[in-house]
Amino acid sequence: MDWNDGYVADLDYPAAYFAEQSPCHLSIACILNGVEPVPTDRPFTYFELGAGMGLTSNILAASHPHGRFYSNDFNPAHVAAARQLADEAQLENMTVLESSFADLAAGKVDLPPLDYITMYGIYSWITPANRQYLVEFIGRYLKPGGIVYVNYNALPGWTRTLPLQRLLLEHANCNPVPRVAQLEQARELARKLSEAGAAFFDGSKQLDYRMASLARDKAGYLAHEYLNSGWEPLYHADVAGNLAAAGLDFVGSADLPLAFEGDYLTAQQQALLAGIAEPRWRETMRDYLLNTSFREDVYVRGARSMGEERRAGWLARLGMVLTSVVETVPAPDPAADDDSVALREILDALATGPKTLAELARLRCVSLQAIARLAARLAAADKIAFFFLGSEAVDPAPAMRLNRAIAAQSTLGDHYQALASPRLGGGLHSGLAQRLVYQCMAQAAPDAKPDAHDVSRRVASLLQGHFATCIPGSPAEAALHQLREGLPHTVAAILAYRLPIWRTLCML
């Protein structure tokens, strides 16, 4: 086997930020699922396995200056990009390692005991031997009470679409041309098969979803998603069984609304699950009920269940803040159900500034747990975010340095599509126009009142360089033209609505 163990190494994976990997998000997932979390307001250690271009771990390190962060990847191009971003932002608490999972499992790197270990897009995309290295690594370094986040392609939800991956992989194996051309041909092949009436392409929802991704997504993403030799969707029972060897107990999903079964399972389905005592089997049954194709599991080494009082104590340490622009809406529809009215009231309350969960519970005259359920729904819809009270005191300087580095990069390309917030203990997805406005604002005096016309003119000039890197006639070029045409309106909206959010979240 080569150094890359059959894993795609000739095309870089696009940079991305994943909020689920934030220490705060994972501790909140534990709280919502009734398990003792790791406190994030004191020094802690964090490791991201297979970090790719390192956007997530750099944002997390910048927004938790009191945490010590490590990441690894065996692809030197990925490591170099992650280090460059960390260096530009002078993140002294970030160490990017060029090492394989085998090296880490064998203890070849000097590491402290870890509070958090996360991996995004790794576990079901690598060989079984590499999965075993990850289990050994976790067993070796994770502290008792430490948290693991792992996501994976799951069964039974992938059953219908498995042959599409095989088609792409076989095609790649038989056509040893450069990767981008290979994917272009594979796209074409799948389309032609479908148009020729191949019975496999039966218009099922799952298959249509994958075909749309195949037509739309970048070659870098598609290669890493489909063309690794170890690629294999997994049953939760098998993943939880393997991780048990490292002392891990399943806690729940990083998809926060899944902690509230009543919202997505019928009474009959809940009764069915309630009758199953064995957690691994229960969770696997849930996947049959939902036909799950992607899982985001949270585990703790030695999970300790919390009683109601203890859990309420943790919920009382949480706040909520708007992360998106809330449209002005007419008076509540009398026919709207209780939840819609409550969600609206929460958003309206947050429009006047961040609130504690306790304040919102008092406003609605309900329990903290009831508010947490609604908040989880709003957070999953990217309308609001949870934060730990006291996070406004976190030193914002590293996050601001990283945001400036990302904004400066955005004048050259569109790779890093998120900015860091120390208040959230994580990042916020931010489009190109937002990052270019950030670049202009970062260069202005802190108390200067921005002039929308002037900022729009400067953003237009920064955007100009992007046209030079676009293929003429490509969808990317069309998107740039569209952005440029609507720029005065977009910039005015960013200054009016996004700038206050950046300030509240200590991002600027």
Q: Which stretch binds ligand SAM (CB under 6 A): 5-13, 161-169, 382-390, 465-473?
A: 5-13
State which of positions 213-252 bind ligand SAM (CB under 6 A): 224
Applying CB under 6 A, among 20, 36, 73, 287 the residue interacting with ligand SAM is 73
Applying CB under 6 A, among 44, 46, 70, 120 the residue interacting with ligand SAM is 120
Tell me whether residue 125 or residue 314 sits nearer to ligand SAM (CB atom): 125
Applying CB under 6 A, among 23, 34, 37, 121 the residue interacting with ligand SAM is 121
CA distance between the termini of the chain: 47
φ and ψ of 118, to 5 deg:
-130, 155
Applying CB under 6 A, among 44, 46, 74, 438 the residue interacting with ligand SAM is 74
CB of 10 to ligand SAM, least distance (A): 11
Tell me whether residue 34 or residue 220 sits nearer to ligand SAM (CB atom): 220
Applying CB under 6 A, among 75, 293, 391, 417 the residue interacting with ligand SAM is 75
DSSP structural state of residue 15: P
Q: With contacts defined by CB under 6 A, how many residues of the chain interact with ligand SAM? A: 21
- Read off the tokens for 194: 């479908």
Q: What is the 3-state secondary structure (H, E, C) of 73-93?
A: ECCHHHHHHHHHHHHHCCCCC
Q: What is the SS3 assignment for 160?
A: helix
Q: What is the SS3 assignment for 450?
A: coil
Which helix H or strand E contains 210, and what residues bound it? helix 205-216
Site string for ligand SAM, 143-172 (x = CB under 6 A): ------------------------------
CB of 192 to ligand SAM, least distance (A): 28
DSSP 252-309: EESSGGGG-GGGTS-HHHHHHHHT---HHHHHHHHHHHHT-SEEEEEEEET--BPPHH
DSSP structural state of residue 332: P
> Is residue 472 packed enough to be buried (19+ CB in 10 Å), middle (13-18) or exposed (0-12)?
exposed
DSSP structural state of residue 177: S
Q: Is 69 in the site for ligand SAM (CB under 6 A)?
A: no
Site string for ligand SAM, 16-55 (x = CB under 6 A): x---------------------------------xxx---
Choose among 89, 77, 97: nearest CA to 12: 77
Q: What is the SS3 assignment for 429?
A: strand
Applying CB under 6 A, among 126, 320, 343, 419 the residue interacting with ligand SAM is 126
Tell me whether residue 73 or residue 283 sits nearer to ligand SAM (CB atom): 73
φ and ψ of 151, to 5 deg:
-115, 160
Q: Which stretch binds ligand SAM (CB under 6 A): 120-128, 194-202, 268-276, 342-350?
A: 120-128
Site string for ligand SAM, 100-119 (x = CB under 6 A): xx------------------
DSSP structural state of residue 471: P
Tell me whether residue 97 or residue 462 sits nearer to ligand SAM (CB atom): 97
Can you tell me the distance from the alpha carbon of 97 to that of 187, in angstroms, rounded to the nearest whole number?
A: 35
Site string for ligand SAM, 256-295 (x = CB under 6 A): ----------------------------------------
CB of 302 to ligand SAM, least distance (A): 26
- Asked if 442 and 407 touch (Cβ cutoff 8 Å), the reply is yes
Applying CB under 6 A, among 93, 130, 417, 439 the residue interacting with ligand SAM is 130
State which of positions 174-203 bind ligand SAM (CB under 6 A): none
Q: Which stretch binds ligand SAM (CB under 6 A): 72-80, 326-334, 380-388, 412-420?
A: 72-80
Can you tell me the distance from the alpha carbon of 334 to that of 349, in angstroms, rounded to the nearest whole number?
A: 19
- Asked if 273 and 324 touch (Cβ cutoff 8 Å), the reply is no
Say which amino acid occupies 329: V
DSSP structural state of residue 35: B
Per CB under 6 A, residues contacting ligand SAM are 5, 7, 13, 16, 50-52, 72-75, 78, 100-101, 120-122, 125-126, 130, 224
